[in-house]
Structure 1
Amino acid sequence: MARENGGTRDSGRVERDRDARDGERLGRDRDARDGEWARHWRYPGVPGLDLLRARYVRHEFARHSHEGFVIGAVRRGIEDVIVPEGTVRARRGSVVMINPEVPHAARAGAPEGWSYATLYPSARLIADIAEETTTLRGTAGFAETIVSDEETARLVRAVHRAAEEGNALAADSLLRIAMTRLLRRYGGSLPVRTPPAAGARSAARARDVLLERMAAPPSLAELATELDARPFTLLRAFKAAYGMPPHTWLTDARVRAARRLLERGVPPAEAAVAVGFTDQPHLNRHFTRIVGVPPGAYQRERAAGR
Protein backbone atom coordinates (compact mmCIF):
# COMPACT_ATOMS: atom_id res chain seq x y z
CA MET A 1 0.00 0.00 0.00
CA ALA A 2 1.34 3.43 -0.92
CA ARG A 3 2.71 5.46 1.96
CA GLU A 4 3.33 9.16 2.54
CA ASN A 5 5.50 10.25 5.46
CA GLY A 6 4.90 6.96 7.21
CA GLY A 7 1.09 6.82 6.70
CA THR A 8 -1.39 5.30 4.26
CA ARG A 9 -3.35 7.14 1.59
CA ASP A 10 -6.24 7.32 4.07
CA SER A 11 -4.05 8.94 6.70
CA GLY A 12 -2.84 11.41 4.06
CA ARG A 13 -6.45 12.32 3.31
CA VAL A 14 -7.10 12.79 7.04
CA GLU A 15 -4.11 15.16 7.22
CA ARG A 16 -5.38 17.15 4.24
CA ASP A 17 -8.85 17.39 5.78
CA ARG A 18 -7.31 18.56 9.04
CA ASP A 19 -5.28 21.17 7.17
CA ALA A 20 -8.44 22.44 5.50
CA ARG A 21 -10.23 22.73 8.86
CA ASP A 22 -7.25 24.53 10.38
CA GLY A 23 -7.18 26.90 7.43
CA GLU A 24 -10.81 27.80 8.04
CA ARG A 25 -10.42 28.04 11.80
CA LEU A 26 -7.03 29.72 12.06
CA GLY A 27 -6.13 31.16 8.72
CA ARG A 28 -5.94 34.91 8.69
CA ASP A 29 -4.04 34.87 5.40
CA ARG A 30 -5.35 32.32 2.92
CA ASP A 31 -4.75 31.62 -0.75
CA ALA A 32 -7.78 29.76 -2.10
CA ARG A 33 -5.88 28.45 -5.12
CA ASP A 34 -3.28 26.58 -3.11
CA GLY A 35 -5.02 26.18 0.24
CA GLU A 36 -2.27 28.22 1.89
CA TRP A 37 -3.02 29.64 5.31
CA ALA A 38 -1.03 30.97 8.24
CA ARG A 39 -1.45 32.31 11.73
CA HIS A 40 1.42 34.11 13.47
CA TRP A 41 0.54 35.14 17.00
CA ARG A 42 1.59 35.68 20.59
CA TYR A 43 -0.13 33.84 23.41
CA PRO A 44 -0.19 36.05 26.52
CA GLY A 45 -0.39 32.99 28.79
CA VAL A 46 3.25 32.15 27.99
CA PRO A 47 5.40 35.31 27.99
CA GLY A 48 8.39 35.23 25.68
CA LEU A 49 6.81 32.95 23.09
CA ASP A 50 5.55 33.61 19.56
CA LEU A 51 3.82 30.91 17.50
CA LEU A 52 3.31 30.23 13.81
CA ARG A 53 1.06 27.51 12.42
CA ALA A 54 0.71 27.37 8.67
CA ARG A 55 0.41 25.50 5.42
CA TYR A 56 2.56 26.81 2.57
CA VAL A 57 2.84 25.67 -1.04
CA ARG A 58 4.24 28.52 -3.13
CA HIS A 59 5.43 30.70 -0.27
CA GLU A 60 9.18 31.08 0.20
CA PHE A 61 10.86 32.61 3.24
CA ALA A 62 13.61 35.05 2.31
CA ARG A 63 16.94 34.83 4.11
CA HIS A 64 16.58 36.35 7.54
CA SER A 65 17.39 35.72 11.19
CA HIS A 66 15.69 36.02 14.58
CA GLU A 67 16.65 37.55 17.90
CA GLY A 68 15.36 34.40 19.61
CA PHE A 69 15.13 30.70 18.73
CA VAL A 70 13.13 28.86 16.06
CA ILE A 71 11.73 25.39 16.85
CA GLY A 72 9.68 23.87 14.01
CA ALA A 73 7.82 20.57 13.60
CA VAL A 74 6.43 19.60 10.20
CA ARG A 75 3.09 17.79 10.28
CA ARG A 76 2.72 17.07 6.57
CA GLY A 77 4.79 17.49 3.41
CA ILE A 78 8.41 18.59 3.24
CA GLU A 79 10.08 21.88 4.13
CA ASP A 80 13.53 22.71 2.75
CA VAL A 81 15.38 24.89 5.25
CA ILE A 82 18.48 26.66 3.95
CA VAL A 83 21.04 27.32 6.67
CA PRO A 84 24.73 28.31 6.44
CA GLU A 85 25.80 24.65 6.37
CA GLY A 86 23.48 23.77 3.48
CA THR A 87 19.87 22.62 3.01
CA VAL A 88 18.08 20.33 5.47
CA ARG A 89 14.82 18.54 4.60
CA ALA A 90 12.22 18.63 7.35
CA ARG A 91 9.58 15.89 7.21
CA ARG A 92 6.96 14.69 9.67
CA GLY A 93 8.69 13.52 12.82
CA SER A 94 11.63 15.88 12.51
CA VAL A 95 12.36 18.94 14.62
CA VAL A 96 14.26 21.92 13.22
CA MET A 97 16.21 24.04 15.72
CA ILE A 98 17.73 27.38 14.72
CA ASN A 99 19.74 29.47 17.15
CA PRO A 100 19.45 33.27 17.46
CA GLU A 101 20.88 35.41 14.64
CA VAL A 102 21.56 32.41 12.37
CA PRO A 103 20.58 33.37 8.80
CA HIS A 104 18.15 30.95 7.15
CA ALA A 105 15.53 30.70 4.43
CA ALA A 106 12.85 28.12 3.63
CA ARG A 107 10.68 26.81 0.82
CA ALA A 108 8.56 23.80 -0.07
CA GLY A 109 10.50 20.60 -0.63
CA ALA A 110 7.60 18.80 -2.34
CA PRO A 111 4.81 19.83 -4.76
CA GLU A 112 2.20 19.67 -2.01
CA GLY A 113 4.18 22.08 0.16
CA TRP A 114 4.26 21.65 3.91
CA SER A 115 2.20 22.30 7.01
CA TYR A 116 3.88 22.81 10.35
CA ALA A 117 3.88 24.26 13.83
CA THR A 118 6.71 26.58 14.86
CA LEU A 119 7.64 28.00 18.24
CA TYR A 120 9.69 31.18 18.64
CA PRO A 121 10.89 31.19 22.26
CA SER A 122 12.91 34.22 23.31
CA ALA A 123 16.60 33.86 24.18
CA ARG A 124 15.72 34.74 27.78
CA LEU A 125 13.10 32.00 28.01
CA ILE A 126 15.50 29.33 26.70
CA ALA A 127 18.25 30.58 29.03
CA ASP A 128 15.90 30.27 32.03
CA ILE A 129 14.85 26.73 31.07
CA ALA A 130 18.46 25.67 30.44
CA GLU A 131 19.62 27.09 33.77
CA GLU A 132 16.92 25.21 35.67
CA THR A 133 17.01 21.86 33.87
CA THR A 134 20.47 21.34 32.35
CA THR A 135 24.16 21.62 33.18
CA LEU A 136 24.97 23.66 30.07
CA ARG A 137 27.35 26.52 30.67
CA GLY A 138 27.63 29.83 28.88
CA THR A 139 24.91 30.71 26.39
CA ALA A 140 22.71 27.66 25.88
CA GLY A 141 21.58 26.71 22.41
CA PHE A 142 21.34 23.75 20.05
CA ALA A 143 24.23 21.81 18.52
CA GLU A 144 21.99 20.20 15.86
CA THR A 145 19.88 21.88 13.19
CA ILE A 146 17.50 18.98 12.47
CA VAL A 147 16.77 15.74 14.32
CA SER A 148 14.29 12.91 13.94
CA ASP A 149 12.28 13.01 17.16
CA GLU A 150 8.57 12.32 16.66
CA GLU A 151 7.76 12.48 20.38
CA THR A 152 9.16 15.99 20.74
CA ALA A 153 7.56 17.04 17.44
CA ARG A 154 4.20 16.00 18.93
CA LEU A 155 4.96 18.10 22.01
CA VAL A 156 5.63 21.15 19.80
CA ARG A 157 2.27 20.68 18.11
CA ALA A 158 0.63 20.13 21.51
CA VAL A 159 1.92 23.50 22.73
CA HIS A 160 0.01 25.09 19.86
CA ARG A 161 -3.19 23.21 20.63
CA ALA A 162 -3.05 24.19 24.30
CA ALA A 163 -2.41 27.84 23.46
CA GLU A 164 -5.24 27.88 20.90
CA GLU A 165 -7.56 26.46 23.57
CA GLY A 166 -6.47 29.13 26.06
CA ASN A 167 -4.96 26.56 28.43
CA ALA A 168 -1.98 28.47 29.84
CA LEU A 169 -1.04 25.77 32.34
CA ALA A 170 -0.80 23.10 29.65
CA ALA A 171 0.90 25.37 27.08
CA ASP A 172 3.59 26.50 29.53
CA SER A 173 4.14 22.99 30.89
CA LEU A 174 4.37 21.35 27.47
CA LEU A 175 6.70 24.07 26.21
CA ARG A 176 9.10 23.55 29.11
CA ILE A 177 9.00 19.76 28.74
CA ALA A 178 9.71 20.03 25.01
CA MET A 179 12.53 22.55 25.37
CA THR A 180 14.12 20.59 28.22
CA ARG A 181 14.10 17.42 26.11
CA LEU A 182 15.70 19.24 23.18
CA LEU A 183 18.32 20.97 25.33
CA ARG A 184 19.30 17.78 27.14
CA ARG A 185 19.47 15.70 23.98
CA TYR A 186 20.80 18.18 21.43
CA GLY A 187 21.88 21.23 23.41
CA GLY A 188 25.28 22.83 23.72
CA SER A 189 26.98 26.05 24.67
CA LEU A 190 26.88 28.47 21.77
CA PRO A 191 30.29 29.67 20.61
CA VAL A 192 31.00 33.36 20.75
CA ARG A 193 30.89 34.65 17.19
CA THR A 194 34.29 36.01 16.28
CA PRO A 195 34.44 37.27 12.70
CA PRO A 196 37.88 37.65 11.12
CA ALA A 197 39.81 40.45 12.76
CA ALA A 198 40.40 42.24 9.45
CA GLY A 199 37.33 44.31 8.73
CA ALA A 200 35.41 43.28 11.87
CA ARG A 201 35.43 46.81 13.26
CA SER A 202 34.27 48.26 9.94
CA ALA A 203 31.44 45.69 9.75
CA ALA A 204 30.22 46.62 13.23
CA ARG A 205 30.37 50.33 12.42
CA ALA A 206 28.52 49.73 9.15
CA ARG A 207 25.79 47.89 11.05
CA ASP A 208 25.42 50.84 13.43
CA VAL A 209 25.18 53.29 10.54
CA LEU A 210 22.50 51.21 8.83
CA LEU A 211 20.49 50.99 12.04
CA GLU A 212 20.75 54.72 12.66
CA ARG A 213 19.86 55.66 9.06
CA MET A 214 17.50 52.83 8.28
CA ALA A 215 14.99 55.03 6.48
CA ALA A 216 17.60 56.60 4.20
CA PRO A 217 20.71 54.39 4.10
CA PRO A 218 23.84 55.21 2.12
CA SER A 219 24.96 53.18 -0.89
CA LEU A 220 27.72 50.62 -0.37
CA ALA A 221 30.28 52.97 -1.92
CA GLU A 222 29.13 55.86 0.29
CA LEU A 223 29.18 53.65 3.35
CA ALA A 224 32.68 52.42 2.56
CA THR A 225 33.95 55.97 2.03
CA GLU A 226 32.41 57.07 5.30
CA LEU A 227 34.14 54.22 7.13
CA ASP A 228 37.43 54.61 5.26
CA ALA A 229 37.11 51.15 3.71
CA ARG A 230 36.90 49.68 0.23
CA PRO A 231 33.41 48.61 -0.94
CA PHE A 232 34.05 44.93 -1.69
CA THR A 233 36.23 44.52 1.39
CA LEU A 234 33.42 45.98 3.52
CA LEU A 235 30.84 43.77 1.79
CA ARG A 236 32.89 40.65 2.51
CA ALA A 237 33.58 41.64 6.12
CA PHE A 238 29.92 42.40 6.78
CA LYS A 239 28.80 39.03 5.40
CA ALA A 240 31.43 37.24 7.49
CA ALA A 241 30.23 39.01 10.62
CA TYR A 242 26.45 38.80 10.16
CA GLY A 243 25.86 36.01 7.66
CA MET A 244 24.20 38.28 5.08
CA PRO A 245 25.29 41.11 2.80
CA PRO A 246 24.35 44.60 4.04
CA HIS A 247 21.27 45.03 1.81
CA THR A 248 19.77 41.68 2.89
CA TRP A 249 20.56 42.39 6.53
CA LEU A 250 18.96 45.84 6.26
CA THR A 251 15.71 44.42 4.86
CA ASP A 252 15.57 41.99 7.78
CA ALA A 253 16.29 44.81 10.24
CA ARG A 254 13.54 46.94 8.69
CA VAL A 255 11.03 44.13 9.08
CA ARG A 256 12.05 43.68 12.74
CA ALA A 257 11.55 47.41 13.31
CA ALA A 258 8.20 47.30 11.50
CA ARG A 259 7.07 44.46 13.77
CA ARG A 260 7.77 46.57 16.84
CA LEU A 261 5.81 49.49 15.40
CA LEU A 262 2.87 47.26 14.43
CA GLU A 263 2.80 45.81 17.94
CA ARG A 264 2.45 49.36 19.26
CA GLY A 265 -0.55 49.94 17.00
CA VAL A 266 1.12 52.02 14.27
CA PRO A 267 -0.83 51.56 10.98
CA PRO A 268 1.07 49.46 8.40
CA ALA A 269 1.32 52.33 5.90
CA GLU A 270 2.98 54.57 8.51
CA ALA A 271 5.24 51.77 9.73
CA ALA A 272 6.38 51.12 6.15
CA VAL A 273 7.60 54.67 5.62
CA ALA A 274 9.10 54.95 9.10
CA VAL A 275 11.47 52.01 8.55
CA GLY A 276 12.44 52.93 4.98
CA PHE A 277 10.10 50.98 2.71
CA THR A 278 8.64 52.90 -0.22
CA ASP A 279 5.01 52.23 0.71
CA GLN A 280 2.75 49.64 2.30
CA PRO A 281 2.86 47.18 -0.65
CA HIS A 282 6.67 47.29 -0.42
CA LEU A 283 6.44 46.46 3.30
CA ASN A 284 3.81 43.78 2.64
CA ARG A 285 6.05 41.95 0.19
CA HIS A 286 9.15 41.81 2.38
CA PHE A 287 7.25 41.37 5.66
CA THR A 288 5.33 38.36 4.33
CA ARG A 289 8.47 36.73 2.92
CA ILE A 290 10.21 36.99 6.31
CA VAL A 291 7.43 36.66 8.90
CA GLY A 292 5.08 34.38 6.95
CA VAL A 293 1.95 36.56 7.19
CA PRO A 294 1.13 40.10 5.94
CA PRO A 295 1.60 43.00 8.37
CA GLY A 296 -2.16 43.59 8.70
CA ALA A 297 -2.78 40.00 9.83
CA TYR A 298 0.22 40.19 12.16
CA GLN A 299 -1.10 43.37 13.77
CA ARG A 300 -4.63 42.00 14.17
CA GLU A 301 -3.36 38.94 16.01
CA ARG A 302 -1.25 41.08 18.34
CA ALA A 303 -4.22 43.32 19.12
CA ALA A 304 -6.47 40.31 19.74
CA GLY A 305 -3.97 38.79 22.16
CA ARG A 306 -3.71 41.80 24.45
Structure 2
Amino acid sequence: MSDAGEQREREAAKLTRHEGLGGLEMLAARYRDHAYALHTHPTWVFGVVVAGVEKLRIGSRSHFAPAGSIIIVNPEEPHDGEKGAPAGWAYRTCYPDAALMAEIAEDLELPGLPMFSGGIVEVPELARAFVRAHRLAGQALEQEAAMLAVLRDLVRRFGDGRHRDRASDGGETARRFRLYGELIAADLSAGFDLAHLAAAAGVTRFQVIRDFHRAAGMTPGQYLRDRRVRAASALMKTGMPLAEIAAATGFADQSHLTRVFKAIKGLSPGAWRAAA
Protein backbone atom coordinates (compact mmCIF):
# COMPACT_ATOMS: atom_id res chain seq x y z
CA MET A 1 0.00 0.00 0.00
CA SER A 2 1.27 3.50 -0.79
CA ASP A 3 2.04 6.05 1.90
CA ALA A 4 -1.07 7.99 0.88
CA GLY A 5 -3.17 4.84 1.19
CA GLU A 6 -1.65 3.97 4.55
CA GLN A 7 -2.34 7.48 5.81
CA ARG A 8 -6.06 7.08 5.15
CA GLU A 9 -6.20 4.05 7.43
CA ARG A 10 -6.48 4.25 11.21
CA GLU A 11 -3.90 6.16 13.22
CA ALA A 12 -0.75 4.22 13.99
CA ALA A 13 2.79 4.85 15.18
CA LYS A 14 5.83 2.58 15.36
CA LEU A 15 9.12 3.45 17.04
CA THR A 16 12.35 1.59 16.30
CA ARG A 17 15.95 2.07 17.41
CA HIS A 18 19.18 1.54 15.52
CA GLU A 19 21.99 0.52 17.86
CA GLY A 20 24.65 1.08 15.19
CA LEU A 21 23.65 4.75 15.20
CA GLY A 22 23.88 5.17 18.95
CA GLY A 23 20.35 3.96 19.59
CA LEU A 24 18.89 6.43 17.08
CA GLU A 25 15.12 6.58 17.53
CA MET A 26 13.07 6.44 14.33
CA LEU A 27 9.31 6.97 14.26
CA ALA A 28 6.94 6.06 11.43
CA ALA A 29 3.44 7.39 12.09
CA ARG A 30 0.15 8.37 10.53
CA TYR A 31 -2.28 10.60 12.38
CA ARG A 32 -5.75 11.82 11.56
CA ASP A 33 -6.92 13.37 14.84
CA HIS A 34 -3.87 13.24 17.09
CA ALA A 35 -2.34 16.57 18.11
CA TYR A 36 1.07 16.91 19.73
CA ALA A 37 1.24 19.13 22.79
CA LEU A 38 4.00 21.74 22.84
CA HIS A 39 7.22 19.98 23.88
CA THR A 40 10.96 19.77 23.36
CA HIS A 41 13.62 17.11 22.80
CA PRO A 42 17.21 16.98 24.01
CA THR A 43 18.02 15.71 20.51
CA TRP A 44 17.63 17.10 17.00
CA VAL A 45 14.48 16.17 15.06
CA PHE A 46 14.53 15.44 11.33
CA GLY A 47 11.40 14.26 9.56
CA VAL A 48 9.71 14.01 6.19
CA VAL A 49 5.95 14.27 5.64
CA VAL A 50 5.04 11.43 3.28
CA ALA A 51 1.28 12.10 2.96
CA GLY A 52 -1.21 14.79 3.90
CA VAL A 53 -0.27 18.04 5.63
CA GLU A 54 1.08 18.74 9.11
CA LYS A 55 0.48 22.07 10.82
CA LEU A 56 3.13 22.83 13.42
CA ARG A 57 4.79 25.49 15.47
CA ILE A 58 8.58 25.48 15.75
CA GLY A 59 9.84 28.10 18.17
CA SER A 60 7.80 31.23 17.54
CA ARG A 61 6.92 30.41 13.92
CA SER A 62 3.95 28.50 12.53
CA HIS A 63 4.25 26.29 9.46
CA PHE A 64 2.27 24.06 7.14
CA ALA A 65 4.34 21.07 5.99
CA PRO A 66 2.81 19.28 2.97
CA ALA A 67 3.96 15.92 1.63
CA GLY A 68 7.62 16.06 0.64
CA SER A 69 8.54 18.67 3.26
CA ILE A 70 11.56 18.14 5.50
CA ILE A 71 11.04 19.19 9.12
CA ILE A 72 14.07 20.25 11.18
CA VAL A 73 13.96 21.07 14.90
CA ASN A 74 16.95 21.98 17.07
CA PRO A 75 17.47 20.56 20.58
CA GLU A 76 15.33 22.23 23.25
CA GLU A 77 13.30 24.09 20.61
CA PRO A 78 9.59 24.00 21.53
CA HIS A 79 7.34 22.55 18.85
CA ASP A 80 3.96 20.89 18.42
CA GLY A 81 2.03 19.32 15.55
CA GLU A 82 -1.47 18.57 14.30
CA LYS A 83 -3.29 17.90 11.08
CA GLY A 84 -3.13 20.64 8.50
CA ALA A 85 -5.77 19.00 6.28
CA PRO A 86 -8.90 16.95 7.09
CA ALA A 87 -7.24 13.59 6.34
CA GLY A 88 -4.32 14.29 8.67
CA TRP A 89 -0.73 13.42 7.82
CA ALA A 90 1.83 10.64 7.77
CA TYR A 91 5.52 11.11 8.37
CA ARG A 92 8.83 9.51 9.25
CA THR A 93 11.16 11.12 11.76
CA CYS A 94 14.41 10.44 13.59
CA TYR A 95 16.05 11.95 16.67
CA PRO A 96 19.89 12.01 16.47
CA ASP A 97 21.71 12.82 19.69
CA ALA A 98 24.73 15.05 20.28
CA ALA A 99 27.25 12.22 19.89
CA LEU A 100 25.97 11.32 16.42
CA MET A 101 25.75 14.95 15.32
CA ALA A 102 29.27 15.59 16.64
CA GLU A 103 30.56 12.70 14.50
CA ILE A 104 28.93 14.26 11.44
CA ALA A 105 30.27 17.71 12.32
CA GLU A 106 33.79 16.31 12.68
CA ASP A 107 33.61 14.65 9.29
CA LEU A 108 32.51 17.96 7.76
CA GLU A 109 35.20 19.83 9.73
CA LEU A 110 32.67 22.10 11.39
CA PRO A 111 33.76 24.11 14.44
CA GLY A 112 30.93 22.83 16.63
CA LEU A 113 27.58 21.09 16.73
CA PRO A 114 25.39 22.07 13.76
CA MET A 115 22.25 24.10 14.35
CA PHE A 116 19.51 25.00 11.90
CA SER A 117 17.34 28.02 11.21
CA GLY A 118 15.05 26.77 8.44
CA GLY A 119 12.36 24.81 10.28
CA ILE A 120 10.78 23.51 7.04
CA VAL A 121 12.80 22.96 3.86
CA GLU A 122 11.78 21.68 0.44
CA VAL A 123 14.39 19.50 -1.26
CA PRO A 124 12.60 16.60 -3.01
CA GLU A 125 15.63 14.42 -3.70
CA LEU A 126 16.87 14.74 -0.11
CA ALA A 127 13.40 13.99 1.26
CA ARG A 128 13.24 10.84 -0.87
CA ALA A 129 16.68 9.77 0.33
CA PHE A 130 15.60 10.22 3.94
CA VAL A 131 12.47 8.12 3.44
CA ARG A 132 14.45 5.38 1.66
CA ALA A 133 16.94 5.22 4.52
CA HIS A 134 14.16 5.22 7.11
CA ARG A 135 12.40 2.30 5.41
CA LEU A 136 15.46 0.03 5.63
CA ALA A 137 14.43 -1.29 9.04
CA GLY A 138 15.71 -4.84 9.45
CA GLN A 139 18.69 -4.17 7.17
CA ALA A 140 21.05 -2.87 9.82
CA LEU A 141 24.20 -2.20 7.80
CA GLU A 142 22.36 -0.73 4.83
CA GLN A 143 20.24 1.50 7.05
CA GLU A 144 23.26 2.66 9.05
CA ALA A 145 25.12 3.78 5.93
CA ALA A 146 22.07 5.33 4.25
CA MET A 147 20.96 7.25 7.33
CA LEU A 148 24.47 8.55 8.01
CA ALA A 149 24.70 9.78 4.43
CA VAL A 150 21.37 11.60 4.48
CA LEU A 151 21.97 13.19 7.89
CA ARG A 152 25.40 14.35 6.73
CA ASP A 153 23.80 15.90 3.65
CA LEU A 154 21.22 17.70 5.79
CA VAL A 155 23.95 19.13 8.00
CA ARG A 156 26.14 20.07 5.03
CA ARG A 157 23.34 21.88 3.25
CA PHE A 158 21.39 23.49 6.08
CA GLY A 159 23.44 23.49 9.29
CA ASP A 160 24.46 27.10 9.87
CA GLY A 161 25.24 27.38 13.57
CA ARG A 162 23.23 30.58 13.98
CA HIS A 163 20.67 29.14 16.38
CA ARG A 164 21.30 29.86 20.05
CA ASP A 165 19.62 28.30 23.05
CA ARG A 166 17.89 31.24 24.68
CA ALA A 167 18.37 29.71 28.13
CA SER A 168 22.15 29.75 27.68
CA ASP A 169 22.34 33.50 27.16
CA GLY A 170 23.70 35.61 29.98
CA GLY A 171 21.65 37.91 32.16
CA GLU A 172 19.19 37.71 34.99
CA THR A 173 16.50 35.91 33.00
CA ALA A 174 18.88 33.05 32.24
CA ARG A 175 20.09 32.91 35.83
CA ARG A 176 16.53 32.71 37.17
CA PHE A 177 15.51 30.17 34.54
CA ARG A 178 18.37 27.89 35.56
CA LEU A 179 17.17 28.17 39.16
CA TYR A 180 13.60 27.24 38.17
CA GLY A 181 14.92 24.26 36.23
CA GLU A 182 17.02 23.06 39.16
CA LEU A 183 14.08 23.32 41.55
CA ILE A 184 11.81 21.37 39.21
CA ALA A 185 14.41 18.70 38.43
CA ALA A 186 15.14 18.17 42.14
CA ASP A 187 11.68 16.70 42.76
CA LEU A 188 9.42 16.18 39.78
CA SER A 189 6.79 14.57 42.00
CA ALA A 190 6.34 17.78 43.99
CA GLY A 191 3.50 20.17 43.38
CA PHE A 192 4.76 23.47 42.00
CA ASP A 193 3.04 26.83 41.80
CA LEU A 194 4.16 30.22 40.59
CA ALA A 195 4.43 31.58 44.10
CA HIS A 196 7.00 28.92 45.06
CA LEU A 197 9.18 29.64 42.03
CA ALA A 198 8.80 33.40 42.45
CA ALA A 199 9.83 33.27 46.12
CA ALA A 200 12.90 31.19 45.31
CA ALA A 201 14.04 33.71 42.69
CA GLY A 202 12.95 36.81 44.58
CA VAL A 203 10.62 38.04 41.82
CA THR A 204 6.90 38.32 41.15
CA ARG A 205 4.75 35.59 39.65
CA PHE A 206 4.39 37.71 36.52
CA GLN A 207 8.18 37.76 36.17
CA VAL A 208 8.29 33.96 36.41
CA ILE A 209 5.85 33.71 33.50
CA ARG A 210 7.93 36.17 31.46
CA ASP A 211 11.15 34.29 32.26
CA PHE A 212 9.78 30.98 30.98
CA HIS A 213 8.48 32.63 27.83
CA ARG A 214 11.78 34.35 27.09
CA ALA A 215 14.11 31.49 28.04
CA ALA A 216 12.10 28.45 26.89
CA GLY A 217 9.26 29.66 24.69
CA MET A 218 6.85 27.78 26.97
CA THR A 219 4.60 28.45 29.94
CA PRO A 220 5.79 27.16 33.33
CA GLY A 221 3.16 24.41 33.15
CA GLN A 222 4.24 23.31 29.69
CA TYR A 223 7.85 23.20 30.80
CA LEU A 224 7.02 21.15 33.91
CA ARG A 225 4.97 18.67 31.86
CA ASP A 226 7.78 18.37 29.31
CA ARG A 227 10.37 17.57 32.01
CA ARG A 228 8.08 15.06 33.68
CA VAL A 229 7.62 13.19 30.41
CA ARG A 230 11.39 13.19 29.80
CA ALA A 231 11.99 11.72 33.24
CA ALA A 232 9.26 9.14 32.74
CA SER A 233 10.81 8.14 29.40
CA ALA A 234 14.14 7.48 31.11
CA LEU A 235 12.52 5.36 33.82
CA MET A 236 10.64 3.33 31.19
CA LYS A 237 14.00 1.93 30.07
CA THR A 238 14.15 0.19 33.45
CA GLY A 239 11.82 -2.44 34.85
CA MET A 240 9.87 0.01 37.00
CA PRO A 241 6.08 -0.44 36.70
CA LEU A 242 4.25 2.38 34.96
CA ALA A 243 2.16 3.18 38.03
CA GLU A 244 5.35 3.74 40.05
CA ILE A 245 6.86 5.84 37.25
CA ALA A 246 3.73 8.00 37.24
CA ALA A 247 4.02 8.62 40.98
CA ALA A 248 7.76 9.32 40.81
CA THR A 249 7.42 11.89 38.06
CA GLY A 250 4.45 13.86 39.34
CA PHE A 251 1.51 12.39 37.44
CA ALA A 252 -1.77 11.76 39.26
CA ASP A 253 -1.84 8.11 38.20
CA GLN A 254 -0.93 5.78 35.34
CA SER A 255 -3.86 6.96 33.22
CA HIS A 256 -2.72 10.56 33.56
CA LEU A 257 0.81 9.58 32.55
CA THR A 258 -0.52 7.70 29.52
CA ARG A 259 -2.61 10.64 28.29
CA VAL A 260 0.17 13.19 28.63
CA PHE A 261 2.87 10.86 27.32
CA LYS A 262 0.91 10.13 24.14
CA ALA A 263 0.20 13.83 23.61
CA ILE A 264 3.94 14.50 23.56
CA LYS A 265 5.46 11.28 22.19
CA GLY A 266 2.73 10.31 19.74
CA LEU A 267 2.44 6.74 21.06
CA SER A 268 1.53 5.03 24.31
CA PRO A 269 4.02 4.34 27.13
CA GLY A 270 3.67 0.61 26.42
CA ALA A 271 4.55 0.98 22.76
CA TRP A 272 7.44 3.30 23.56
CA ARG A 273 8.77 0.96 26.25
CA ALA A 274 8.60 -2.02 23.88
CA ALA A 275 10.85 -0.18 21.42
CA ALA A 276 13.19 0.85 24.23
Question: Measured at CA, do residues 136 and 46 of structure 1 come closer, stay the same or move farther in structure 2, by a change above 3 Å?
Answer: closer
- Unpaired runs of 5+ residues, structure 2, are none
Structure-2-length-normalised TM-score: 0.93
Amino acid at match of 1:265: G
Structure 1 residues 137-146 or 110-119, which shifts more?
Answer: 137-146
Name the counterpart of 2:263.
289
Divergent runs of 4+, >4 A:
none
- For the pair 1:131 / 2:106, whether they are aligned, the reply is yes
CA deviations on 1:35-77 (whole Å, 9 max, x unpaired) are 1011123233432410110100100000000000100101100
Name the counterpart of 1:174.
146
Distance 1:139 1:247 in 2: 30
- For the pair 1:189 / 2:161, whether they are aligned, the reply is yes
1:141 aligns to what SS in structure 2?
Answer: coil
Distance 1:141 1:272 in 2: 34
The structure number with the bigger radius of gyration is 1
Name the counterpart of 2:275.
301
Structure 1 residue 126 displacement after superposition:
1.1
Where does 1:244-283 land on structure 2 (aligned, <5 Å)? 244-283=218-257
Name the counterpart of 1:39.
14
Decide whether the 8 Å contact of 1:46 with 1:171 is kept in 2. no
Structure 1 residue 191 displacement after superposition:
4.1
Question: Measured at CA, do residues 255 and 51 of structure 1 come closer, stay the same or move farther in structure 2, by a change above 3 Å?
Answer: same
- For the pair 1:160 / 2:134, whether they are aligned, the reply is yes
Distance 2:71 2:95 in 1: 12
Structure 1 residue 86 displacement after superposition:
1.7
Name the counterpart of 1:72.
47
Decide whether the 8 Å contact of 1:49 with 1:119 is kept in 2. yes
Structure-1-length-normalised TM-score: 0.84
CA RMSD after TM alignment: 1.8
Question: Measured at CA, do residues 226 and 17 of structure 1 come closer, stay the same or move farther in structure 2, by a change above 3 Å?
Answer: closer
Distance 2:2 2:37 in 1: 31
- Unpaired runs of 5+ residues, structure 1, are 1-12, 21-33
CA deviations on 1:197-245 (whole Å, 9 max, x unpaired) are 2332122101100110210133111221122221111221122112212
Decide whether the 8 Å contact of 1:36 with 1:57 is kept in 2. yes
Amino acid at match of 1:179: L
Name the counterpart of 1:146.
120
Decide whether the 8 Å contact of 1:95 with 1:147 is kept in 2. yes
Amino acid at match of 1:241: A
Amino acid at match of 1:187: G
Decide whether the 8 Å contact of 2:189 with 2:248 is kept in 1. yes
- For the pair 1:87 / 2:62, whether they are aligned, the reply is yes
- For the pair 1:97 / 2:69, whether they are aligned, the reply is no
> How many residues in Structure 1 have an aligned counterpart in Structure 2?
274
Distance 2:241 2:20 in 1: 26
CA deviations on 1:221-280 (whole Å, 9 max, x unpaired) are 122112222111122112211221221111010001101111112221111111010001
